[in-house]
Structure 1
Amino acid sequence: MFLKFKFLLVASVLFSSCAEKKLPEVEVLENAFIYNKSDFPQCHASTLVETEAGTIIAAWFGGEYERHPDVSIYQSIKSDSGWAAPSKIADGKTPNDTISNPTWNPVLFKNQQQELLLFYKEGPSPSTWWGMLKRSTDDGKTWSDAIRLPEGILGPIKNKPIQLDSGVIVSPSSIESEDGNTWKSHVELSSDQGKTWQRVAIPSADSVKVIQPTLIQLKNGTLKALLRSDQNYILESTSTDAGKSWSTAKAGTVLNPNSGIDALTLNEGGFLLVYNPAEAGKDWSDGRNKLNLAYSADGTLWEDISKLEDEEKGEFSYPAIIQDSKGFIHLTYTHNRSKIKYMKLRLNN
């Protein structure tokens, strides 16, 4: 009788544990392109932010093609009637217009003072670019003149920073060498709402390449960086001291073909990850024809909950994901280099 009771008790515990791990269901509320016509033939590297007024802003770079001198930063603001036409908010022209540099990888971020920051990169290539910053105090309607970030500070390289309860901003960044053989990641910390920065390395073996971290915060306060790599897997590093030091990056369990990712710490607990679920191929674009949304309850074990794209050919890459103040999920990504795709989701448990 005791053994039977013990078996039933264990079975009950296991059943309860499985029930607790039930994955959220994804409800798609909106699924459309941000624009259908534009002044630029190619675009890439979108970013998202919610303003103090509750509107959503998307930004990206667009131009003739990546690295072309005309590549500029564009934004669109979402209203009840849809997305506004893209407007240019930054470029790489010098004051006398004698030189124009391509611009890259905008990242929008709202600090605790409700000030919008627009980080972007300017320069001929990822190995030679430098960090730029603009600010907005009117929810993106107007932007300040650009300032160049200090030497050695690039700003968030692709994905959004996070701001801790202490007020410290942790900004995920990385560098690439001129010969392309070295990719290293780091974070940049600010305790004054983004006015000054301190750079902290994310250690990694010299035999691996890691760039473009995305950050999540675990329940115990530990920060985890998920990193794009050349290892066919997303690499991981953790910090238990608010970003002041990091563990050596090691391979996780999520496949990725050396392509951009983004992750999100949900307000209600749990985490989301947008990524290309494949290994790398002969061409740089191999594996980017599929794009998935995964969920994790603990930031370690990830399970797919939605196939956002699944085609034989195509490029669906460089996702961005945020959660707004009402709990809705917003995400964008590059769609065949010609448009920015937008989705609004609700998670139902």
Structure 2
Amino acid sequence: MKPLLASLTLCLAALASAAEPFLEKQNLFTVGDDPAYNIYHIPGIVVTAKGTVLAWCEARKGGGDWSDIRILLRRSTDDGKTWSAPQSIADVPGPKQKNPFALRLKNVDTTQVTYNNPVLIADKDGTVHMLFCLEYERAFYQRSTDDGLTWSKPVEITATFDTFKKHYDWKVLATGPNHSIQLNNGRLVVPVWLSTGEGGNAHRPSVTATIYSDDQGKSWHAGDIAVPCTDEWINPNETVAIQLNDGRVMLNVRSESKAHRRLVVTSPDGATNWSTPKFDEALLEPICMAGIVRYDHGGQSLILFSNPHNLEGGREGQPEPGKSRARKNVSVKLSRDEGQTWPVSKVLEPGPSMYSDIAVTHAGTILCFYGSSARPGFAGSSLTLARFNLEWLQEK
């Protein structure tokens, strides 16, 4: 009886210690909070080596990608519960000019300055690396050694992208967006997309690649084109990255392909020898940014993925002709086999919901930072932070 009682006691203790599912939401940026900005878009989130949560976005004085845009950051030192006031963190001194390909578009104000596509990486040594673009034409790197309180002077790294011109004569460039990754060997990897600027919004056609640094951001190098633009893989662009447990780097890629699914491609080093791109049938593609992150807690090593899980109308997941793929139904998925299957999928925001990024705190709290609104649109009226645990995600 004693062994039986001991086993029963252990089982009861395990049940008692099991965490209760929870989900909490708060808006970190809302239109109207600051009269200077009428759109908050492109959310990103990362947890530093010291445990500070950094959440950032593009704050726009206008609606379009080429409008007056600043990059704002908020910080949390208590697992994402409370937050500092927004801080502008990207500033390039000196004269600036609009990308010539933007001037081909209607209603582009040549006096407005566009800072775009911020990417942050949490280094294992405590450094926070940041890349951003200016006018979709120039790229910059800066760093913080105090968890985002202050930042170094930005250094231009546009020359890194010139290597791509041997293979793709880009006129428009963009990093990320969202957070990116440091590999186990210390390499920093940042997905990028490049466009010849001849198509819609001067962002199409496009291809996806990566740039990388092996010296903690001091120098940057161009990798290979990971996903070209073809009749099958149409306009690959905004891309997120994760390192798999076998060491490979997997990119999860937005595109405008007719399959209406996310594209996936892998590389042994995050820069070269990319596999043939494949569509992931489980991950719908409403043409919207997504988030991906590893959950490594409690003896579990999982991959979490977030995006609007929606293809409006149609049968068997295919949109009806002429129907738009509405940005709504942001959901979080879980994979236990390194992204091969996604058996868990839970709706986080059933209404209009847009771009998202996802992170995990040192305590194991999952943070999904996403656009939300009462009305459909490309961007929400708020950028919302959802805090929840694995128990909530797996609760049926």
Smaller-chain TM-score range? 0.7 to 0.9
What number of residue pairs does the alignment pair up? 319
Report the counterpart of residue 218 of structure 2 in structure 1: 195
Deviation at 1:96, TM superposition (A): 9.1
Q: 2:228 aligns with which of 204, 214, 228?
A: 204
In the TM superposition, residue 250 of structure 1 has moved relative to its aligned partner by 2.0
Task: State how far apart, in whole Å, the 2-side matches of 1:256 and 1:304 are.
Answer: 17
State the partner residue of 1:301: 341
Asked whether the 8 Å contact 1:35–1:83 carries over to 2, the reply is no
When normalised by structure 2's length, the TM-score is 0.73
Deviation of 1:152 after TM superposition, in Å, equals 4.3
CA pair 319-284 structure 1, distance change in 2 beyond 3 A: farther
> 1:55 pairs with 52, 76, 81, which one?
52
Cα deviation, 1:206-254, whole Å, max 9, x if unaligned, reads 2222112212222322222111011211011111345432012121212
Which structure has greater strand proportion? 1
Residues 221-240 of structure 1 aligned to structure 2 (within 5 Å) = 221-231=247-257, 232-240=260-268
Kept after mapping to 2: 8 A contact 1:204/1:248: no
Matched, 1:279 2:289: no
Task: Report the counterpart of residue 12 of structure 1 in structure 2.
Answer: none
Identity percentage of aligned residues: 25
Q: Say if 1:215 and 1:96 are closer, same or farther in 2 by CA, change over 3 A.
A: closer
Does the 8 Å contact 1:292/1:304 carry over to 2? no
User: Would the alpha carbon gap of residues 338 and 152 (structure 1) be closer, same or farther in structure 2, given more than 3 Å must change?
Assistant: farther
1:55 alignment partner AA? T
> How many Å separate the matches in 2 of 1:99 and 1:238?
41
CA contact under 8 A between 1:321 and 1:329: conserved in structure 2?
Answer: yes
- Report Cα offsets for 1:115-151 as digits up to 9, x if no partner: 112222210xxxx432122221111111222222232
Whole-Å separation in 2 of the counterparts to 1:27 and 1:285: 35
Establish whether residue 146 from structure 1 lines up as the match of residue 178 from structure 2: no
1:297 to 1:147, Cα distance in 2 relative to 1, 3 A: same
Q: Which amino acid aligns with 2:230?
A: D
Displacement of 1:341 after TM fit? 0.5
> What runs of 5+ residues in structure 1 fail to find an aligned partner?
1-24
Q: How far did residue 91 of structure 1 move?
A: 4.4
Contact 2:193–2:206, Cα closer than 8 Å, also in 1 = yes
- 1:290 maps to what in 2? 329
Answer yes or no: is 1:77 the counterpart of 2:67: no
> What TM-score, normalized to structure 1?
0.82
- Asked whether 1:172 is paired with 2:191, we answer yes
- Contact 1:162–1:215 (8 Å) recurs in 2: yes
The equivalences for 1:23-172 within 5 A come to 27-36=21-30, 37-39=33-35, 40-65=37-62, 66-67=64-65, 69-80=67-78, 82-91=82-91, 94=94, 100-123=112-135, 128-153=136-161, 156-172=175-191
Q: Is the 8 A contact 2:206 2:229 kept in 1?
A: no
